[in-house]
């Protein structure tokens, strides 16, 4: 029997993983310059972290969580980062100072979804969370950070959509209004939306089905129903985004698939992605700590899907063509030459220079040069009996094809001088 990886969970290696490293380090630089420090939480959490907090009617909690059931506990593989983050904040009293705290994470998430392009069962998210700041400026900052991440790759093919989903004061009357609107049309809605009608009528607004969208088009919109303080907050977010030179559009149909949002909700979408067009998204979640039975404090954040960003970068050819390759490939022809080159190769490696050496004893020079080519080494260094006799080594520049003879006595310093990634 052939054993394969779990569907929707990928192996990463080679050039693809090099590209991931490139992208990860650029994103971390953006977080660094905006003052966000990293937090890592375990992959496994008690089920209570998500059920009752993210929203029991959300797709994530209702049907997408991988569960591990033991005698005494039910654990789940983290389907999203915000509830885990909140659990950690409360556990370590990170909000206790009352001062704004900026955190980011880069973690695998697990959702039992039907895999398709850009939708995996194990995917990777960069997330950012800013706690203890209720200001609209904080919301604008988060949107700006996400925007800056895409800008840092020169990606322009995306849209920033923002909305306000109101607060605990103004959302319930809006939901009632929506229900009044959808009630007479209930039979025309898809099965999923009929289920949503009772507890999450707002989710009907972001149903992807054409028939539901057509009905939702004339539904009352939240922006005309939010209270005056939510309205003021929303207007200020927009003003700050304009100041930050972030191009955005208001989209009253952004409701997000998670229940904990209040006021600002946003999504970055891109046509480069196909059906799963959300590059990233987030919003404010001031009430989430109360869902953990604790006093509320303000928070806002976003999550960015790495796999989707990688698709966008691939489609637009914005991934670097060059990946790191060895500076040197050593070809010792014979035991004596090996005794000289093996310790030298280690010396260079210990100084941070990537240097390959062949352990093959029986192959000739032609084969060794092929290996140097295969690995894309900058230089190939060859020592055979003839060279040993003369106290010399033959260095070939694999890119230009030129050769030069170096003295064995000054080999280390000569190689260090030529190394591309010299220490
Ligand atoms: P989310 O919208 O569920 O939000 O996920 C954020 C991003 O993760 C999506 O925009 C998408 O790029 C990516 N994503 C989601 N599901 C998948 C999947 N199955 N395969 C590949 N990529 C996926 C959250 O998770 C919130 N915790 C974000 C947040 C942070 N809100 C406040 N703070």
Residue nearest to atom 8 of ligand 1 (CA): 305
Confidence of residue 421 (pLDDT cuts 50, 70, 90): low
Determine whether the shortest distance from the Cβ of 284 to ligand 1 is under 6 A. no
Coil, helix or strand at residue 88: helix
The model's pLDDT over 201-246, given as tens digits with 9 standing for 90+, comes to 998 998 888 999 999 999 999 999 999 999 999 999 999 999 999 9
Start-end of H helices in 34-97: 59, 81-91
Cα(93) to ligand 1 centroid in Å equals 25
pLDDT of residue 57: 76
Coil, helix or strand at residue 403: strand
The model's pLDDT over 24-47, given as tens digits with 9 standing for 90+, comes to 999 999 999 999 999 999 999 999
Determine whether the shortest distance from the Cβ of 80 to ligand 1 is under 6 A. yes
> In angstroms, rounded to a whole number, what is the distance separating the alpha carbons of residues 25 and 31?
10
Q: For the chain, what percent of residues have pLDDT higher than 70?
A: 99
> In angstroms, rounded to a whole number, what is the distance separating the alpha carbons of residues 350 and 340?
16
| pTM: predicted TM-score of the whole model, two decimal places | 0.91
Cα(123) to ligand 1 centroid in Å equals 9
Residue nearest to atom 6 of ligand 1 (CA): 303
> In angstroms, rounded to a whole number, what is the distance separating the alpha carbons of residues 273 and 117?
8
Cα(81) to ligand 1 centroid in Å equals 9
pLDDT of residue 92: 98
Single out the residue of 279, 266, 242 nearest to residue 153, CA to CA: 279
The model's pLDDT over 300-320, given as tens digits with 9 standing for 90+, comes to 999 999 999 999 999 999 998
Determine whether the shortest distance from the Cβ of 79 to ligand 1 is under 6 A. no
CB 102 within 8 A of CB 132: no
Query: How does DSSP assign 112-137, residue by residue?
Result: ----BTTB-SEEEEEEEEEES---HH
Residue 332 vs residues 358, 365, 380, 387: alpha-carbon distances, Å: 7, 9, 10, 11
Start-end of H helices in 131-217: 136-152, 171-182, 191-199, 210-216
Single out the residue of 253, 252, 257, 190 nearest to residue 55, CA to CA: 257
Q: What is the token pair recorded at 311? A: 């698709």
Residue nearest to atom 5 of ligand 1 (CA): 303
């Amino acid at each position: 029997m052939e054993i394969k990886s779990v569907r929707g969970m990928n192996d990463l290696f080679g050039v693809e993983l090099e590209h991931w490293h490139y992208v990860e380090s650029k994103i971390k630089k953006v977080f660094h310059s905006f003052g966000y420090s990293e937090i890592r939480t375990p992959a496994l959490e008690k089920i209570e972290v998500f059920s009752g907090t993210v929203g029991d009617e959300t797709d994530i909690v209702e049907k997408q969580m991988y569960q591990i059931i033991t005698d005494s506990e039910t654990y789940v593989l983290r389907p999203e980062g915000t509830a885990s983050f909140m659990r950690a904040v409360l556990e370590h009293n990170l909000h206790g100072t009352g001062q704004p705290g900026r955190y980011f994470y880069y973690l695998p998430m697990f959702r039992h979804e039907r895999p398709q392009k850009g939708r995996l069962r194990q995917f990777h998210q960069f997330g950012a969370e800013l706690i203890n700041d209720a200001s609209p400026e904080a919301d604008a900052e988060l949107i700006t950070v996400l925007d800056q991440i895409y800008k840092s790759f020169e990606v322009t093919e995306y849209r920033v959509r923002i909305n306000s989903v109101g607060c605990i004061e103004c959302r319930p009357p809006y939901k009632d209004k929506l229900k009044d609107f959808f009630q007479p049309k209930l039979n025309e809605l898809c099965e999923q939306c009929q289920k949503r009608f009772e507890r999450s009528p707002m989710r009907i607004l972001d149903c992807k089905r054409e028939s539901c969208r057509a009905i939702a088009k004339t539904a009352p919109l939240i922006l005309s129903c939010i209270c005056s303080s939510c309205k003021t907050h929303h207007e200020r977010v927009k003003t700050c985004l304009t100041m930050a030179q972030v191009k955005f559009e208001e989209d009253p149909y952004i409701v997000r698939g998670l229940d904990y949002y209040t006021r600002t909700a946003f999504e970055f979408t891109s046509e480069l992605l196909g059906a799963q067009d959300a590059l990233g998204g987030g919003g404010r979640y001031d009430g989430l700590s109360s869902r953990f039975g604790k006093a509320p404090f303000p928070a806002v954040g976003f999550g960015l899907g790495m796999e989707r960003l990688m698709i966008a970068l691939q489609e637009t050819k914005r991934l670097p063509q060059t990946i790191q390759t060895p500076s040197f490939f050593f070809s010792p022809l014979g035991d004596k030459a090996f005794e000289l080159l093996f310790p030298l190769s280690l010396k260079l490696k210990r100084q941070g220079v990537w240097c390959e050496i062949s352990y093959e004893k029986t192959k000739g020079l032609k084969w060794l040069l092929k290996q140097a080519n295969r690995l894309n080494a900058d230089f190939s260094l060859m020592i055979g009996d003839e060279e040993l006799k003369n106290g010399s080594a033959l260095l070939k520049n694999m890119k230009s094809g030129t050769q030069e003879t170096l003295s064995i006595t000054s080999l280390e310093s000569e190689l260090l001088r030529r190394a591309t990634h010299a220490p």
